[in-house]
Amino acid sequence: MSAALEAGREGKGLGGGRVGLLGSVVIGVSCIAPAYTLSGALGPTASAVGDHLPAIFLVGFVPMLLVAVGYRALNTAMPDSGTTFTWSSRAFGPWVGWMGGWGLLAATVLVLSNLAGIAVDFFYLLLAQLTGDAGLADLAASTPVNVATCLVFTALACWISYRGLEATKAVQYVLVALQLVVLVWFCVAAFTRVADGSAPAALAVDPAWFDPTGVGSFSAFAAGVSLSVFVYWGWDVVLTMNEETRGARTTPGRAALATIAVIVVLYLAIALAVLTYAGTGAQGLGLGNPDIQDNVFAALAGPVMGPAAVLMSVAVLTSSAASLQSTFISPARTLLAMGHYGALSPRFARITPRFQSPGYATVAAGVVAAAFYAVMRVLSEDVLWDTITALGMMVCFYYGVTALACVWYFRGTWRGNARGFLTTGLAPGVGGALLLVFFVQTAVDSTDPAYGSGSQLFGVGLVFLLGTGVLVLGVVVMLLQRLRRPGFFRGETLPRGRCEPAATTGASGAAVVPRPVATLPAGTRESARESARETARETARETARESTPEGAPE
C-alpha cells in the first residue's frame, strides 16, 4: 500500500501540471491500443479496399481529425461525464441526445465483446506457442471453449473495473513500449523476408497503393474509412486531457501531433509490411483469405517473425486484456451519466461507496457484453469480423452526431471569428457529415447477406443487423424510457441550449466558452444539479471545503 501511495503521489491526480509530452503520447497510444485494433481491423479493411490499404489509413484519419477538433471545443465548453450524450442533448434536444448516447454505448459494448474475442484467440495461441502443442490454438475455434473462456475474461475485467482499479503510469509505459517494439519488429521482419525472397507474395511497394481514388467503388471506400475510423478511435483523448498536462497551452497540441505521427507512421508501415509480405490473394497467407482475415496477426506473426511470434501474442494479448479492463469504464460512465440525467433508470447512477465506481452500470455493461458475445459466437462463425465492421459503423454514427452537435451548439458564435468558425463549424461539420455519409453507405451495403464475413440472419447481412438493428433497438428502449421517465424527454434535466456569441473570447477561438445559464427557474432539478456539479468541480480545485460551519447538519 505504501508503494501505491508513493506511485500515486508521483503520477496521479487532476491537480494540473502532471503529465508531460511523453506521458501524453503514451496515454494517446494506449487509448488507441494499436496491436489490438490492427489485429482485428487489418483483415476486414484489406478485404474492403484490397491493396489500397495505405491510402485508406491515410485518408481515414482526416474525418477523425476534423471531428476531434469539434470534440475538443465541446469538451472545453461543456466538460461533462456524458460527452456525446450530454452534448447532443444540449444541441439537438433529448431524442437525438439519447440516440447519440445509445450509439456510444453500443460501440463500447461491441468493442468489449470484440476485445474479449481477440483476447481469447491470442490466449490459446500463446498457450500453443509456449507449450509447442499446436492443438491448443485450435481450442479457440471450439464454440463452447471459446465462449466459456471469453466469459471468464469478461468477468475478470468487470471485477477489476468494479473495484475501481486502473492501470498505472508504469503499466501503461510498459504496455505501450511492448506494443510499439513488437509491431516495429514485425514490420522489419516482414520487409526482411520480402527482401530475401522468402515471403509468399514478396510484392514491391506500388505508389498506386497510396491513391485513395483507386479504390473500386464508393461502397468499398466507405467501408474502408469506417474501419479506419475504428482503428484511430481513442486518439482524441490527447486533445481533451489539456487540464492535466504540464504546460497546458502547448503540450496538448504537441502531444496530439506526436501521437498522430507515431500512429500514422506505424499503421502505414504495418500496412505496407503485410501487403508486400502476403499480398491480397485469397489463398494461404494472402489478406484476401477469409480464414485469416478476422485475426491477421494470429495468422501472420508465426511465418513472419518465426519463434519471436510469441512476442506478438504477448503484445496483442496484453494490449487487448488491458483495453478490455479499461473498456469497461466507458459504457459504465456513459450509463452513469444517462442515469444521472434521468435518461435511464437511476440505478445506473449508483456509485459503490467503497470503490467509488459506478458498480451497477459496470456489472450491467459486463452482463450485456458477455451475453452479446455468446449469442454472436453461436450465430456467426466470424463474429470478430462482423463486430469490427459493425463497430466501425457505430463509431461513425456517434462521432458524426457529436460533430454535428458541435456545429449546431456553436452556430451563433462565428460572426467575426474565423478561427472559431473553422474549429467549431467547418471542421466538425465536414467531418461529421462525412462520417454519417459513410455510416449510411455502409448500412445500406450491409443489408446484402454476403457482406462482411457473409454471416446472415433471415436473409439479411449480420453486419446490418448489428449496426442498424442495435440502433432500432435503441429507439425502442428510448420510447420505453419516454413512458417511464418523461422528465428527461421534456428537457427538464438537460435543456437545449446554444453557445451565445458574446461569450466567446477572440484569443482562443471557441476554446473558452462559459456554460450557458440554465433558463429554468431556480430550485428546479436542473439548476440544483448544475450547481452541485459546479460545487464538485470547485471542490476538486480547492483543498477542502466546509459543508456546514460548525456542527448543525442540515
| Interface with other proteins, residue 18, by CB under 8 A | yes
Helix axes 34-49, 218-232, angle to 10 degrees: 180
SS3 sequence of 479-542: HHHHHHCHHHHCCCCCCCCCCCHHHCCCCCHHHCCCCCCCCCCCCCHHHHHHHHHHHHHHHHHC
Picking from 228, 200, 384, 364, the residue whose alpha carbon sits closest to that of residue 294 is 384
Check residue 454 and report its DSSP letter. -
Amino acid making up residue 246: R
Picking from 407, 471, 359, the residue whose alpha carbon sits closest to that of residue 105 is 471
CB of 22 to other proteins, least distance (A): 12
What span, in angstroms and rounded, lies between the C-alpha atoms of 191 and 211?
Answer: 21
| Interface with other proteins, residue 545, by CB under 8 A | yes
Binder to other proteins among 64, 66, 67, 111 (CB under 8 A)? 111
Task: Name which of 196 and 550 has its Cβ closer to other proteins.
Answer: 550
Tell me which stretch binds other proteins (CB under 8 A): 194-202, 285-293, 378-386, 539-547.
Answer: 539-547
What span, in angstroms and rounded, lies between the C-alpha atoms of 151 and 330?
Answer: 19
Q: Pull the grid cell for residue 123.
A: 490466449
Amino acid making up residue 207: P
| Interface with other proteins, residue 400, by CB under 8 A | no
CB of 154 to other proteins, least distance (A): 14
CB of 62 to other proteins, least distance (A): 19
Tell me which stretch binds other proteins (CB under 8 A): 56-64, 437-445, 472-480, 543-551.
Answer: 543-551
Binder to other proteins among 172, 228, 259, 387 (CB under 8 A)? 172
Check residue 403 and report its DSSP letter. H
| Interface with other proteins, residue 195, by CB under 8 A | no
CB of 326 to other proteins, least distance (A): 5
Count, residues near other proteins per rule CB under 8 A: 82
| Interface with other proteins, residue 240, by CB under 8 A | yes
Contact by Cβ (8 Å): 315, 178: yes
| Interface with other proteins, residue 16, by CB under 8 A | no
Which positions from 332 through 361 interact with other proteins, judged by CB under 8 A? 333-334, 336-337, 340, 349, 351-354, 356, 358
Q: What would the x/- binding string for other proteins be over residues 297 to 326, using CB under 8 A?
A: --------------------------x--x
Task: Name which of 3 and 204 has its Cβ closer to other proteins.
Answer: 3
| Interface with other proteins, residue 434, by CB under 8 A | no
| Interface with other proteins, residue 543, by CB under 8 A | yes
Which positions from 258 through 297 interact with other proteins, judged by CB under 8 A? none
Helix (H, G, I), strand (E, B) or coil at 352: strand
Amino acid making up residue 180: L
Q: Pull the grid cell for residue 456.
A: 446472415
Which positions from 114 through 143 interact with other proteins, judged by CB under 8 A? 115
Binder to other proteins among 1, 476, 502, 522 (CB under 8 A)? 1
CB of 412 to other proteins, least distance (A): 24
Which positions from 32 through 71 interact with other proteins, judged by CB under 8 A? 33
| Interface with other proteins, residue 100, by CB under 8 A | no
Binder to other proteins among 25, 31, 363, 384 (CB under 8 A)? 31
Picking from 20, 110, 38, the residue whose alpha carbon sits closest to that of residue 316 is 38
Task: Name which of 237 and 287 has its Cβ closer to other proteins.
Answer: 237
| Interface with other proteins, residue 405, by CB under 8 A | no
Helix (H, G, I), strand (E, B) or coil at 461: strand
Task: Name which of 137 and 394 has its Cβ closer to other proteins.
Answer: 394
C-alpha distances out from residue 448 to 107, 238, 282, 337, 372, Å: 22, 38, 21, 36, 22
> ∠ CA 59-62-67 to the nearest 5 degrees?
150
Q: What is the full DSSP assignment across 147-213?
A: HHHHHHHHHHHHHHHHTT----HHHHHHHHHHHHHHHHHHHHHHHHHHHTT-SSS-PPP-GGGG-GG
Binder to other proteins among 347, 490, 525, 537 (CB under 8 A)? 537
Amino acid making up residue 324: L
Binder to other proteins among 166, 206, 448, 492 (CB under 8 A)? 166
| Interface with other proteins, residue 82, by CB under 8 A | yes
Task: Name which of 483 and 536 has its Cβ closer to other proteins.
Answer: 536
455: phi then psi, degrees, rounded to nearest 5:
-75, 145
